[in-house]
Structure 1
C-alpha cells in the first residue's frame, strides 16, 4: 500500500511538473518572441498534462490561470493597438482552453462514474464469491454453453421432446453429460460429493450424473424449452461411487452467451428420503397391526355381545327338551320355549349384521324408537338372567321421554350391558337387596335427556373409576372388559355421553345423556 502511494505521488509530480514547464514555455514564446500565431492554444497541452495530476477544481483554476497568461501576453506584445488577426488568434486560444477544459471535465465525470461502476462490480463480485464459498449449500459454476449449442442444434433439426428422443437414442445422455464442464465449486460441494467435483479440467460430470437419469432428461427438456429455473429430486454419485439423493436447483440466464457460467445448487436429502421411506414402512406396518387389532377387538366385541343370546338359546333349548320329555309333553310350554329360541336367534343374527356393517363401514339403518317400549323388550330378553341372579328392576319415569331416531339394536345392547353389569355387581357383593333402578328424565330447561341405571352393590373402586371405559379392563374373573367401551362408543356416536360413578347412597350409577335434537329426530 505504501509503495502504491509512492507511485501515485511520483506520477502526479511528473505530470504536474510537465504541465508547469509547458505553460511557462508557451508564455515565454508567446510573450518574448515575434512569432505570429495562436501560440496560446498550446496551453491546452499543459491542461492535458495537468489533468493527470489535479482534480476538477485544480483544472478550472489552471484554465483561468492560462487564460490570464494569454491575456497578459496579448496586452504586453500588441497593446495598445492590436490588429484584427491578432485579436482573432487570442479568441481562438481562449476558446481552445475553454473547450479543452470542458472536455476534460466531462472525461473526468465519465472516468469517475466508470471507477464507481467498477468498484460496485468488484464489491458485488466479492459478495457473490463470499456467498458462493461460505454457504453450506453445495454450489457449482458450470459451463453449459456447449450443451446449449448441442440442444439448439437438435431443436433446429425438429426435436421437441427430449425425453422421447433420449429413449430412442440412449447414447445421447452420455454425450450431453460430456458437454458440461465445471468452472468452480465451493467447499460444501466438495464435502457433498468429494474433491474430484472441483476438478475444472478433469471432465468429471460423467462420474456424477447417472447415464440413466430421468432427472437429467427433464433438465435437457427444460433447456430446450428456454426455462429460467429447474428444480427436481435427483440421484448423483459421490467420489466413493455411492448414490446420494439431492434436491437439484439450476438457474439459467436469459442471455445464451452467459451459459458459460451457470449456477447449480444441490441439497443432500438422502437422510430425509430414507427417513420418509422408513416412516412409510412403519405406517404400513402400523396399518397392518391396526387392522389386526381391529379384527381382535371386533372378535372380542362379537363374543361379548353374542354371549347373552347364545346363553339364552342354550337355556331355552334345555327347557324345551324338558317340556317335551314330560308325559304327556307340555306342547304350549315347549312352544313358548321355541319362540324364545327363535327370538334369541334373530337377535344373534342382528348382532352379526351390525358387526359386519361395522367392518364394512356401511351406514346402519336408524328407526324411530320408543324408549319405554325398548326397555320393556330388553327386560323381557333378560328375564331368565335376572331371575337367576335374583335381581329386581324398577323403572322410574320422571318425565315423558320423546321418541328416538337411532339404531334399535345398538341402544338395546347398551341397556343390556349396563343392566347385566349392575346385576353381576350385586351378585358378586352378596347384596341383600338386589335392585336395579332405571330412571328416565327429560328436564325442560336442559338440552339433553337422561337415562340412569343404578345398582345397590358395593360401588366402584378407585382403580375401576380411573379405567372404567378402557378396552379390556375388567374386575371380573371371566370378564372381557370390552362391554362398557362399546357402550360409550355407541352413545358418543349419537352425540351423547356415558359416565359412571358411585351413588351417594351406595352402589354405582351409570348415566346416559343424549341431546334432545337426537331424541326429537
Structure 2
C-alpha cells in the first residue's frame, strides 16, 4: 500500500460535512487575505497568513490536495504582490514576497511530512493490531497448553538474590522454608487457552487466572530449576512439571519457557505445556514390569545356577561312586587286591576334592568373591585331566592322543574352572562316541599357538559330529545334543573361557566328527611368538 493510497483512504474516511466546512472557511479566509494583501499597499507580510489556510486544509485535503492548496496560495500571494507593487518592485518588497512563499513552502513540506509520519504510525498500529490478532488466534486455538504470565515481580526478587550473592537456589530454598511458595505467589497468570483448561480439568479460563502458587506442589523441584535458570540468565527452560487443577486433578506436563531478552518484557511471558500424564503412567507401569522381570530373572539365574551346579557335580560324584564300587569289589572278591582297592579309594578321594573345589568356586561366584587366577601349564593340566577320566575312557573304549606342537607357554586362569572346561569337552566327545556306537573311537587334543599371542586347545573326535539343526545353537542354554542332557555344559564352558579373556567355538570337521576349540591369551607372549615363528 502506498502512502498516497493510505492517505486517500484516510481522507475518504473523514466526514464530508467537516471537510466541506473546513474548505468553506479556508476559501473565505484565503479570499480575505488576498483582498487585504492586494487592496492595502502596506509593507507588512500579510501573505504569510496563507499558512493558516494550508494548516486548516491539511486534514481535509491530504496527499496531493495539500500541494494544490499550497500552489493556489503561492499564486494568490504572487498576483497580489504584482498588483500592488508592480513588476519593478523594490528589493525589500520582493524579500517579503520571498518570505511569504518560503513560509508557504516550508509549511507544505512539514504538513506532508506529518501526513507521512501519521500514515507510517497508522500502518505500524494496524500491523501491531494484526499481529496481536494472529497471536491471540494462535494462542486460543492451539492444542498445546499455553499460559501468559507476569514474571516481573519474580524477576525483581531474583535480582535481589543476585545482589546478595546467592548462586544455588536449591540450597537457598532448603535454608529458607517457604521460599518456593513465596516465589510461586509472585507469578500471576493473565490468560490461558482452552487447552490449559482441559489440561487441568478447570471450568473456565478465568478460573486459572491469578497466582500460580495454587497449581504447583510446595516441593516442586522443577519450579526451583526455573528460578535457577532465571538467576543464571539462561534464555530458555525445559522440564517436567506436576500440576494440580482447581478440582484436585493432577497431571504431568512437559514444560517449555522462553525468557524475554529485556527485563521490561517479563510482564508477558508465555509458557507452553504438553500433557505427558499417559507417558508417565506408562513409564511407571514399565518400571513395575521391569522390577517384576528383574525378580523373575533372579529366579531364572538361581535355576540356571542350580542346573550348572548339578551338571558340574554330576561327573565327580559319578566318578566317586564308581571308584567306591571298584574298591568294594576288590576288597570283597575271592582274591582280594588291597593295592587295587587303595588305588580306587585314592581316585575317589581325588574326585571328592574336585567336587569340593567346584562347590567352592560356585559359592565364590554367587557371593562375588574373587578367586585368584594362577599361571597354568596347559600341557600338565590336560594330562592331569585325562588321568581323572581314565576309567571313563577305558569303559568307552576311546583312545586319546595329545599333540602340543612344541608350544609351551602358561595361561592365566583358575585351575579348577579351566580343568572343568576340559572335562566337559572331553566327556562330551566320549559320550557322543559311546551313543553312536563308533568302533575305535578316537579323541585328539591338540595345543597350538596363535599369531595374536594366544594358546589354542582343539578337541576333536571321529564321531558323528553335531546335528545340523543344533550346530548353530550349541552355546544356547538348555540346548543339548544328548537325549538326557541339560544343555548347560557348553554354556558354562563359554562363560568360563570368556571370563579368562578367551573365546570358544564348535563346528563339524570336514573329515567327519566334531571339533571344539577354545583360545586363551598367554602370559609369556614372546614365548608363543617364537614358537609360532
Residue 476 of structure 1: aligned partner: 482
Secondary structure of residue in 2 paired with 1:346:
helix
Once residues 4 and 92 of structure 1 are traced to their aligned partners in structure 2, the CA distance between those partners, rounded to angstroms, is 32
| Aligned-pair CA distance for 1:429 | 1.4
Once residues 356 and 252 of structure 2 are traced to their aligned partners in structure 1, the CA distance between those partners, rounded to angstroms, is 56
Once residues 82 and 117 of structure 2 are traced to their aligned partners in structure 1, the CA distance between those partners, rounded to angstroms, is 37
Residue 437 of structure 2: aligned partner: 430
Once residues 83 and 189 of structure 1 are traced to their aligned partners in structure 2, the CA distance between those partners, rounded to angstroms, is 82
Q: Contact between 1:374 and 1:412, CA under 8 Å: does it hold in 2? A: yes
Residue 124 of structure 1: aligned partner: 131
1:416 lines up with 2:410 in the alignment: no
Q: Contact between 1:500 and 1:511, CA under 8 Å: does it hold in 2? A: yes
Q: Contact between 2:191 and 2:209, CA under 8 Å: does it hold in 1? A: no
Residue 464 of structure 2: aligned partner: 458
Say which of 106, 111, 114 aligns to 2:118: 111
| Aligned-pair CA distance for 1:384 | 1.4
Distance 1:227 1:459, change over 3 A: closer
Residue 267 of structure 1: aligned partner: 274
- 1:249-280 CA distances to partner (integer Å, 9 max, x unpaired)? 45566777766544333222212222222222
Residue 291 of structure 1: aligned partner: 298
Residue 73 of structure 2: aligned partner: 66
| Aligned-pair CA distance for 1:513 | 4.4
| Aligned-pair CA distance for 1:44 | 0.6
Say which of 293, 310, 316 aligns to 1:309: 316
Distance 1:426 1:151, change over 3 A: closer
Q: Contact between 1:234 and 1:248, CA under 8 Å: does it hold in 2? A: yes
1:365 lines up with 2:372 in the alignment: yes
Q: Contact between 2:465 and 2:514, CA under 8 Å: does it hold in 1? A: yes
Once residues 282 and 174 of structure 2 are traced to their aligned partners in structure 1, the CA distance between those partners, rounded to angstroms, is 33
Distance 1:435 1:100, change over 3 A: same
1:245 lines up with 2:255 in the alignment: no
1:406 lines up with 2:409 in the alignment: no
| Aligned-pair CA distance for 1:26 | 2.7
Residue 510 of structure 2: aligned partner: 504
Residue 41 of structure 1: aligned partner: 48
1:394 lines up with 2:401 in the alignment: yes
Distance 1:324 1:164, change over 3 A: same
* TM norm structure 2: 0.80
Once residues 174 and 475 of structure 2 are traced to their aligned partners in structure 1, the CA distance between those partners, rounded to angstroms, is 62
Distance 1:14 1:513, change over 3 A: farther
| Aligned-pair CA distance for 1:329 | 7.0
The 10-residue stretch of structure 1 (469-478 or 379-388) with the greater mean CA deviation from structure 2: 469-478
Secondary structure of residue in 2 paired with 1:196:
coil
The 10-residue stretch of structure 1 (376-385 or 245-254) with the greater mean CA deviation from structure 2: 245-254
| Count of residues paired in the alignment | 515
Distance 1:216 1:72, change over 3 A: same
Secondary structure of residue in 2 paired with 1:233:
strand
Once residues 317 and 373 of structure 1 are traced to their aligned partners in structure 2, the CA distance between those partners, rounded to angstroms, is 26
1:348-387 paired onto structure 2 within 5 Å = 348-387=355-394
Q: Contact between 1:439 and 1:453, CA under 8 Å: does it hold in 2? A: yes
Distance 1:271 1:104, change over 3 A: same
| Aligned-pair CA distance for 1:29 | 3.2
Distance 1:21 1:256, change over 3 A: same
1:2-81 paired onto structure 2 within 5 Å = 7-8=13-14, 10=16, 19=26, 22-33=29-40, 37-54=44-61, 59=66, 62-79=69-86
| Aligned-pair CA distance for 1:72 | 2.4
Q: Contact between 1:197 and 1:204, CA under 8 Å: does it hold in 2? A: no
1:187 lines up with 2:194 in the alignment: yes
- 1:32-51 CA distances to partner (integer Å, 9 max, x unpaired)? 45566322112112221343
Q: Contact between 1:181 and 1:200, CA under 8 Å: does it hold in 2? A: no
Q: Contact between 2:189 and 2:210, CA under 8 Å: does it hold in 1? A: yes
Q: Contact between 1:208 and 1:236, CA under 8 Å: does it hold in 2? A: yes
1:96 lines up with 2:103 in the alignment: yes
Q: Contact between 2:311 and 2:486, CA under 8 Å: does it hold in 1? A: yes
Report the aligned-residue RMSD: 4.3
Secondary structure of residue in 2 paired with 1:235:
strand
- Structure 1 unaligned spans of 5+: none
Q: Contact between 2:378 and 2:411, CA under 8 Å: does it hold in 1? A: no
Once residues 155 and 59 of structure 1 are traced to their aligned partners in structure 2, the CA distance between those partners, rounded to angstroms, is 58
Q: Contact between 2:400 and 2:442, CA under 8 Å: does it hold in 1? A: yes
- Structure 2 unaligned spans of 5+: 1-7, 529-533
Once residues 184 and 523 of structure 2 are traced to their aligned partners in structure 1, the CA distance between those partners, rounded to angstroms, is 71
Q: Contact between 2:409 and 2:523, CA under 8 Å: does it hold in 1? A: no
Once residues 302 and 208 of structure 2 are traced to their aligned partners in structure 1, the CA distance between those partners, rounded to angstroms, is 65
| Aligned-pair CA distance for 1:15 | 5.3
Secondary structure of residue in 1 paired with 2:190:
strand
* TM norm structure 1: 0.81
- 1:314-341 CA distances to partner (integer Å, 9 max, x unpaired)? 2233334455557997554444334323
Secondary structure of residue in 2 paired with 1:236:
strand
Q: Contact between 1:436 and 1:456, CA under 8 Å: does it hold in 2? A: yes
